[in-house]
Amino acid sequence: MSTPIVIMAAVFGGAAAAFLPRVADRLAVPYGEASRTACARCGRRFPAGVTGWIRAGAACGCARGARPVIASALVATVLTVALGPVPRLPVLLVAGVLGALLAMIDVRCLRLPDPLVCGLAVSAGVPLALLAPERIGTALAAGAVVGLAYLAIALLPGRGLGLGDVKLGAVLGLLLGFGGWPAVAVGLGAAHLLNGVVAGWLLISGRARGARALPFGPALLTGALIGLVAV
């Protein structure tokens, strides 16, 4: 793999993610509520219009915004090193940035906004379908199987999954399906393994309180990354 390509991918991932903290802060609200108009930390109101959404760095001057940049740059680097300069790489790099935004929101409010999940499906699914039309059938089947399986789990008593998890799982199953069923199996298996590790750590460390819900979106997205690069 050419070092300049890896560097450019990492710079893209980090630079794009620099604009995520404010968007995540504004969208990380309970279902049915309007987007936040002021900083969640200090209460300072965001500017009106486009400038209220677009800001490089932290959501507000009271916080830091380095973590998303580092995480997204790392994801872009892993994808580039593992896959090489293949035609689908730019599509997956953009998907990685959207995934980072979804993970940030889910961690904050246990919610995966439908417009963002739909945006991930369209912005990644359509280009992948154009690049590999012979795999559309497998991808659609994988998305349907994962979506139905997760929906069945979500409808069980105790609600182990939220409907946002169901939708994201179906979308990721679709995207992984372009890599074949092994990629789907590895991606979903890794997601559940990661979620189990996090839950176990919270129990052992005493940080699990009552029926505290865990955001499953970050594990799903990380598992999908593993499925993409490992198969």
Q: What residue ranges do the domains of the chain occupy?
A: 3-18+65-230
How far, in Å, CA of 157 to CA of 210, rounded?
17
pLDDT in tens, the chain (231 residues): 689 999 999 999 999 999 999 999 999 999 889 999 999 889 899 999 998 999 998 888 887 778 899 999 999 999 999 999 999 999 999 999 999 999 999 999 999 999 999 999 999 999 999 999 999 999 999 999 999 999 999 998 876 789 999 999 999 999 999 999 999 999 999 999 999 898 888 777 766 555 457 899 999 999 999 999 998
pLDDT of residue 78: 97
Tokens 């009552």 -> residue:
210
SS3 112: coil
How many CA atoms are closer than 13 Å to the CA of 29, on its beta-carbon side?
A: 13
Global pTM reads: 0.93
Please state, in angstroms and rounded to a whole number, the distance separating the CA atoms of residues 6 and 85. 9
- The pLDDT of residue 37 is 93
